[in-house]
Structure 1
Amino acid sequence: MKRLIKSGLMFGNLIHVASPALVERYNRALKHLTGKQTKLTDFYIDISGYSPEIGHELDDHLYLNHMGVNRQFILLTTAQKDAPLLNAKFSTSRGILRQFIEKNEAALFSLTTRDAVAGELVNSVYDMPDPARLMDIRKITIEADTTNGAIAKAEELDTKVDRFMTEDDAWFDDVLIAEMIGLAEQTGDVLRHPVMLKHMEFEQQNFWTEHFGGIYVFQKQELPGAITCLPRHEVQHIPIDYVIDLSERNRLANFLELNGLVEPIVKARGIDAAAVLKQKMDFILVDALADEGINLRRRAPRDMRRLAREHADRLPDEFHALAALVNWAENKGRWPRITSEDPAYFYTLRAANHADADLVNMLLSQLSPKDFRQLFICHKQLFYALYDGWSDTKKDYVVEYLKTEYQVDKVGAREALFGHEPVMKEDPVKTGPGGPWVAHRGTTDEYEDMIDRVGPWGPVRRG
């Protein structure tokens, strides 16, 4: 992991807490939330205020996330909005924290100049004894205040100001006026420096959780389902229409297609599909040759092509299937028959344009793990877990590539891979022979008619 840390690919963008004043504020908030304190004089924190160093010191890396259910947070600066979330138990947590900070940035900036803001992502679930409890998580609300209760005092002052302005005799109420002055001394000028935080609620119906070996939950779809990383029979009953595990490739492909969650890369607008597929081929090539004693660092595209020719017999089916797809896209070659059982199948997909695209791309990265770039972007926890088992040759190549190719233009890389252009009605998307999917049976016309009715793998029936 040292390669990743030195290259800024792990623990990057964490906030350094080094000044005595900030350490003291952090300790006040930590004691307020957990009853614990740190003896460290400097440490790094993520968007939630979690510190790996403090987790090690306390021998509890869930010290701000008891039982991995209701994440607590400590904000020392609004700059935390750009930090990662470490040890995430739910895919939605970082997005919720970032939105909370951005929507309340002015108030939080004012509050954190004097104190730490401590809070919690609250839902109706307090533990996670079985997967069925996941279905009870529907809404997340945020509760937050400074350690000295500045927000509560500001709300109390606001209530008293309303009384003062609306009640007839309030002008002569010396006790009320004295209370207002006392609160104002503690809160400051709430008109010039707002300390009120917006009440925010977030739906949590489609999400990934690390609990129970990893489960992707899709409750908002027309055909709701859960996708388990463990074999389905090892996971207790989940009260949802469809439960599918990662090994059930045909059922999984069917579920994603019928819910409109994915699209073929070759059908996507606004991206260079052939270039994306070629890069995936390079990553598969590296995975296949990493243990062959070949120096893979700083390889130009022509060098990668030469390696592929020289070692074609050692390359896996995924490589050859993607090569056939590239040949179709660039040279009008024969349309390859890539079914959902083909190991290359999920490499050919990306999330369609919808609100849960990040979640679907996260799932697809787990289904196509040799594409280390997508894995790093979409599912860092799994990337780090798999990285630990790679050969040194592959680790060197991956770190060098991510550092020199991805890190220099993260936004551009993400746009090239996952960006969407609006589809114009007068400019229909063109596809190749048989459409963008592989016909399992029948003629091209019959296949396209069948897709319109039930999707490329036939209907999913309830019950």
Structure 2
Amino acid sequence: MKRLIDKGLMFGNLIRVESPALIERYNRALQKLTGKTTGLDAFHIDISGYSPEVGDELGNSRYLNPNGVNRQFILLSPEQKTAPLLEATFSTERAILREFIEANEAQLFSLTARDAVLGEVEDTVYSLETPAQLIGLRYFNVAADTTGNHVAEAEKLAGLITRFRTDPAGWYDDALIGEMITLADKTGDVTRHPVKFGKTQFDAPDFWTSHFGGVYLFRTPRHKAVIGMGELLQGLPHDMISGTDRNAIARFLDVNGLVEPIVKARGTDAGAILRQKMDFILVSAAAELGLPIGAGDRRALRGVAGQLGSVLPREFEALAALLRWVEAGGAWPEIDSNHPAYFYTLRARPGPLRDLVNRLLAELSPLDVRQLFICHKELFYRLYAGWPEVKKAWVAEFLETEYQIDKAGARKRLFGSEPGMEEATETAKAPVPVQAGPWGSPRKSPPPPLPSRDPIDLVGPWGAVLRGRT
């Protein structure tokens, strides 16, 4: 993994903490949450305040997320909102933390000027022991305060002030007045500068989790489903689809209008995308067979394709046929959902589920290493550890030179622009059109609906330096 770290492809864009004042605040919060402290004089943190160096020091990479649910966090500055989330167990965690920080940025800026803010992303489940408990994960509440309890004490002071103003005997209550003065010394003037968070509740009905071998829970589409990539899940009120049942997954995505063929997507250079996917497949095949890839450019990879000959991967041959259709008017290829290339030919439609669907497609087409890295980093890092060395080197070099230099542009070219929420909602609810497959002969009518049930810039590879405020 050192190669990825050196190139900024792992632990990238983290916030560096090196100020003694900030380290002292971090330790106060860490002590309160875990009972432990760090002796490091510099480290890096993600959006939640998790530090890989501190995790290594403590021998526990989950010191802020011990059960994989109810993630705890430490905020030293609102600047953390731009950092990634490491050791993610739910796809919604970073979005919730970022939205919380952005919605309460002014309050957090004021609070973190003198103390660390710590808290927890709470839900009704405290440990996941059975798959059925996943259904209880939908609404999340962010509970946060400083290590000195400024928010709680400010709320208490606000209540005392209300009592003082409304109780006729308040002017004569020396104990009440004394308590107000004591609290005001800690919180400041809460009447002019309220210390209270605004938005703290978040709805996350659709998500991926790493629990139970990897699960995708879709509750907002018309036809709900749970897709289990590992073990077979029991006790769920929605349709259970195994990650190995490609036909069922394809039908679920199709009837809900969640995907579109890359070659038919608006504003997409389908030929360039297909060629790049073919390169990824060739590199993987050559690495597995121990074949040299030379310089690793497209000319060298064409030579690899010639060496492979009759053992070219089926995915490569299918995408090559599709490329001929796109660029040379070749025959329309028959690529059904049983074909290993099927999910390589799709991308998510614009809408609120776009990122979750692209994560699922990345897991179903793991040879597309660029999409895997962008959409499902947890799986990318796990698979990377087992790749042949030649593939590791080629992929790291490609991502550094072809993706890192223009991340936003690459995402737009691959997945399209981010739609507005109103447009996204309409897209998600739009009726499913009669279409061709998306591959093969046109259908006369949409497939039969799935059964629907109710409730079912950078410092090294790390990032910007976070400087202390006194």
Partner-residue secondary structure (3-state), 1:119: strand
Alpha-carbon offset, residue 311 of structure 1: 3.8
Aligned to 1:84: 84
Alpha-carbon offset, residue 148 of structure 1: 0.5
Aligned to 1:27: 27
Q: Which moved more, 1:193-202 or 1:406-415?
A: 193-202
- Summarize deviations over 1:178-215 as a string: whole Å, max 9, x none: 44433232123446755321142112321111111111
> Which structure is richer in relative contact order (CA contacts within 8 A, separation 6 or more)?
2
1:294 matched to 2:292: yes
One-letter code aligned to 2:277: K
Alpha-carbon offset, residue 313 of structure 1: 2.9
1:317 matched to 2:314: yes
One-letter code aligned to 1:294: P
1:450 matched to 2:451: no
One-letter code aligned to 1:325: L
Change (3 A) 1:437 1:41: same
1:146 matched to 2:177: no
Aligned to 1:280: 277
Instruction: Within 5 Å, give how 1:180-195 maps onto structure 2.
Output: 180-190=180-190, 195=195
Aligned to 1:58: 58
- Summarize deviations over 1:219-255 as a string: whole Å, max 9, x none: 222221111112xxx4341313311112111111111
Corresponding residue to 2:391 among 391, 394, 399: 394
One-letter code aligned to 2:118: A
Q: Which moved more, 1:221-230 or 1:377-386?
A: 221-230
Aligned to 2:330: 333
Contact 2:286 2:293 survives alignment (8 Å): no
Aligned to 1:369: 366
1:262 matched to 2:259: yes
Aligned to 1:203: 203
Change (3 A) 1:436 1:331: farther
CA distance in 2, matches of 1:20, 1:203: 37
Alpha-carbon offset, residue 10 of structure 1: 0.6
Aligned to 2:225: 225
Change (3 A) 1:297 1:150: farther
Alpha-carbon offset, residue 174 of structure 1: 5.5
CA distance in 1, matches of 2:326, 2:221: 32
Q: Which moved more, 1:104-113 or 1:49-58?
A: 49-58
- Summarize deviations over 1:54-104 as a string: whole Å, max 9, x none: 222322222211211111111111121111111111111111111111111
Aligned to 1:158: 158
Instruction: Within 5 Å, give how 1:211-250 maps onto structure 2.
Output: 211-230=211-230, 234-250=231-247
1:437 matched to 2:432: no
Aligned to 1:49: 49
Alpha-carbon offset, residue 155 of structure 1: 1.6
CA distance in 2, matches of 1:262, 1:399: 28
Contact 1:17 1:45 survives alignment (8 Å): yes
Report the count of equivalent residues.
Answer: 440
Contact 1:297 1:400 survives alignment (8 Å): no
1:354 matched to 2:355: no
Alpha-carbon offset, residue 377 of structure 1: 0.4
- Summarize deviations over 1:157-195 as a string: whole Å, max 9, x none: 333344455555656665545444332321234467553
User: Between the two proteins, what is the percent identity of the paired residues?
Assistant: 54
Alpha-carbon offset, residue 384 of structure 1: 0.6
C-alpha RMSD of matched pairs (Å)? 2.4
Contact 1:48 1:97 survives alignment (8 Å): yes
Contact 1:229 1:246 survives alignment (8 Å): yes
Q: Which moved more, 1:156-165 or 1:172-181?
A: 172-181
Contact 1:288 1:314 survives alignment (8 Å): no
The TM-score with structure 2 as length reference comes to 0.87
Aligned to 2:40: 40
- Summarize deviations over 1:140-166 as a string: whole Å, max 9, x none: 100000010111122223333444555
One-letter code aligned to 2:24: E
Change (3 A) 1:461 1:195: closer
Q: Which moved more, 1:125-134 or 1:199-208?
A: 199-208
Instruction: Within 5 Å, give how 1:94-173 maps onto structure 2.
Output: 94-165=94-165, 170=170
Contact 1:5 1:12 survives alignment (8 Å): yes
CA distance in 2, matches of 1:89, 1:275: 33
CA distance in 2, matches of 1:420, 1:5: 29
- Summarize deviations over 1:293-341 as a string: whole Å, max 9, x none: 4245451x44444543454433201111111111112222211110000
Partner-residue secondary structure (3-state), 1:67: coil
- Summarize deviations over 1:267-291 as a string: whole Å, max 9, x none: 2112212211111111111111224
Aligned to 2:75: 75
Alpha-carbon offset, residue 436 of structure 1: 6.4
Aligned to 1:384: 381
Contact 1:90 1:209 survives alignment (8 Å): yes
Change (3 A) 1:342 1:199: same
- Summarize deviations over 1:313-371 as a string: whole Å, max 9, x none: 33201111111111112222211110000000000111111211111101100000000
Structure 1 gaps, min length 5:
426-433
One-letter code aligned to 1:238: G
Aligned to 2:450: 460
One-letter code aligned to 2:235: I
Partner-residue secondary structure (3-state), 1:271: coil
Q: Which moved more, 1:290-299 or 1:128-137?
A: 290-299
Runs (4 or more) in structure 1 with deviation over 6 Å come to none
Q: Which moved more, 1:218-227 or 1:169-178?
A: 169-178
Q: Which moved more, 1:28-37 or 1:375-384?
A: 28-37
One-letter code aligned to 2:222: E
Change (3 A) 1:461 1:117: closer
CA distance in 2, matches of 1:259, 1:196: 41
One-letter code aligned to 1:409: D
CA distance in 2, matches of 1:126, 1:421: 34
The TM-score with structure 1 as length reference comes to 0.88
Alpha-carbon offset, residue 125 of structure 1: 0.6
